[in-house]
Amino acid sequence: MLTEARPLDLVADFPAIPQGWAYLDTAATSQKPKPVLDAITRAYGETYATVHRGVYQRSADMTLAYEAAREACARFVGGRTDEIVFVRGATEAINLVASSWGNAHLKAGDRILLSQLEHHSNIVPWQLLRARTGVEIDVCPLTVDGRIDLDAAEAMLTPAHKLVALAHVSNVLGSVLDAPRAVALAHAVGAKILLDGCQAVPRMAVDVVALGCDFYVFSGHKLYGPTGIGCLWSRAEILDAMPPYQGGGSMIDRVSFVRTTWAPPPTRFEAGTPHIVGALGLHAAIDYVEGIGLDAIHAHETALVRRTRDALGALNSVTLFGPEDSAGIVSFAVEGVHPHDVGTILDESRVAIRAGHHCAQPLMEMLGVPATARASFGVYNGPTDVDALVNGIERVRRIFG
C-alpha cells in the first residue's frame, strides 16, 4: 500500500490541480500529468506531421510514433498490436461493435444481456441495434451490495444469447465484476462478451487474454490521457470477420467506382486522418501509469475509499451506495439534500465532486433516487482530500439543518 506521502509527491505532476483544491471527479475525467502535457505540446509544436501517407522523414517518424502508441496500448491490456483499434473513446468503440459486428452477426430472435448498472454508452447502442435488427435485450439484476448478480445471469443466459456486455467496474458504485466468471458464463452458451473497461484500466491491471473476453473497450481521458482517443480491443479473427464501421481514406485497400476493397484490421476501422496527437498523449499516459504501478494505484485508491466510507458512514444522515470494497469510487446521498446542492456547497469549499445520474438512469431508478453525489479518486488524491470532502459534507448538514 502506498504511504500517505506518495500522493503529495504525485500531485505536483498535475499542474491543473492548484494547492488546496480537492479534485474528486476522476471517474468522469482524470487530470493530466506533465509527461502527457509535454508529449502533446511536443507533438504539435515540434514533430507534427500526418501519418501513413507521407514519404518525407517527419511523416515517417510520426507514423512510427503513432504505431508505437498502438503497441503500448496493446501491451497495456495484454493483447496484440493488430488487435487494437483507435477510436474516440469507449462510446465509439461500443457503437463500432454494435454497428459492425452486431449488424453482421445478430438477427431477430437473438438476445443480448446487459446489467442494471450499465453506463448509457453500454445501453443505447444496443437499443439502436434492436431497432435495426429485432434483437431482444435482457437486463441482469444486481446483488444487495451493488454487484452484477452473476448467479442471476447464469439462470438467465440461454443459447439465444449471442452477446453479453457488462461494465468491468461500475462508474457509479465502483463495484468490480467477476470478469473471469462472466466470460465463462457467456461462452458456456456460445455468446460473445464485451467488457467496458473505462473505470477498470486506470485502477487495476487488465489482461484481455487471461480474461478470455471477446471485446474490451476503454477511454484515454479517464486514464490520465487526452480526450478524443480510446481503444477497442478484440481478437484478430473477430476483427477480420467484421465489416467496416465508416468509409473514407486510409481504411481501404483499393477504390474504384465499381468496387472497393478494405484494408485489414485495425486500419479497416480507422477511416480518415486519426487523432495522431491523442494517440501519442495516450502513450505517455500509459507510460506514466505503468511507472507508478497499477497494483500500487489500486492499493492507494482502496485505502482512500475505505477512509471515505468509514468517515461518511459515521454520519447518520448519509447513505452510501455500492460495496465496501468499491474500486476508487464512492457514491452517496445526504438526507434531505439534492445531490446538486451537495455538489454546489462542496464547490464553495474547493471540493469538486460529481452530482447527477452519471449517465446511469436505469441504475438510479433501481436505487430509488433521482441522482447521487459521487467522489472518485486518482493518483493525485490523498487523505487531506478525503478530510476536505467530509468537512464539506458536515457543512452541508449544518446549512440544511
Of these residues, 73, 140, 213, 359, which one is catalytic?
Answer: 359
Question: What value does the mean pLDDT take over residues 317-321?
Answer: 97
Q: CATH 3.40.640.10 region(s) of the chain?
A: 37-290
The answer for 248, left when phi > 0, alpha when psi is -120 to 50, beta otherwise, is left
What's residue 8's pLDDT? 38
Confidence of residue 54 (pLDDT cuts 50, 70, 90): confident
Q: What percent of the chain has pLDDT over 70?
A: 98
CATH hierarchy code of domain 37-290: 3.40.640.10
What's residue 2's pLDDT? 37
pLDDT, tens digit, 9 for 90 and up, residues 73-102: 999 999 999 999 999 999 999 999 999 999
What's residue 367's pLDDT? 96
Tell me if the domain spanning 5-24+293-394 has CATH number 3.90.1150.10.
Answer: yes
What's residue 223's pLDDT? 98
pLDDT, tens digit, 9 for 90 and up, residues 366-398: 999 999 999 999 999 999 999 999 999 999 999
Q: Which of 48-62, 167-181, 225-239 has the lowest mean pLDDT?
A: 48-62
pLDDT, tens digit, 9 for 90 and up, residues 324-342: 999 999 999 999 999 999 9
As beta bridge partners, residue 283 has none
Q: CATH 3.90.1150.10 region(s) of the chain?
A: 5-24+293-394
359 in active site: yes
What's residue 401's pLDDT? 79
> Mean pLDDT of all residues in the chain?
96
